[in-house]
Amino acid sequence: MAMIAIFMLVISIGNAFSAARNTQARPSARYAILALCSLIVVGVFGFLRLRRWGWALLAGGAFFYSFGNVVLFFQTHLAGYLLPAAFTLVFFLYLIRDEVRDRVH
């Protein structure tokens, strides 16, 4: 569980810096990306403290990161987007297991 949190933390911080430097494809999405990355970073720290809201933010962030990569694949037809999508989808499927949900309160 800690490795999933660290992975999501690194991904979120990387995307936040990328949005802050305005290297995204669409500059209009800059503030939305910063807001979502901030929510995921807060969720990571809540998840590491085994809080239910942290788990929910982290699971939602993993799902939408995976979904976003699938959307980018269908827009660009670049197979490089499928690997992070599949990787993060496995993390999402692990997070929604009953054993993991029982650990957070």
Q: How many CB atoms lie within 10 A of CB 32?
A: 11
Q: What is the rounded distance in angstroms from the CA atom of residue 96 to the CA atom of residue 26?
A: 32
Q: What is the rounded distance in angstroms from the CA atom of residue 9 to the CA atom of residue 1?
A: 12
Q: Which amino acid type is present at position 18?
A: S
Q: How many helices (H) and strands (E) does the chain have?
A: 5, 0
Report the Cα 99 to chain-centroid distance in Å.
21
Q: What is the rounded distance in angstroms from the CA atom of residue 33 to the CA atom of residue 19?
A: 7
Q: What is the pLDDT tens value at each position of the chain, 105 positions in all?
A: 999 999 999 999 998 888 888 776 677 788 888 899 999 999 999 999 999 999 999 999 999 999 999 999 999 999 999 999 999 999 999 999 999 999 998
Q: What pLDDT sits at residue 25?
A: 62
Q: What pLDDT sits at residue 67?
A: 95
Q: What is the rounded distance in angstroms from the CA atom of residue 45 to the CA atom of residue 67?
A: 23
Q: Which two three-digit tokens encode residue 76?
A: 């660009």
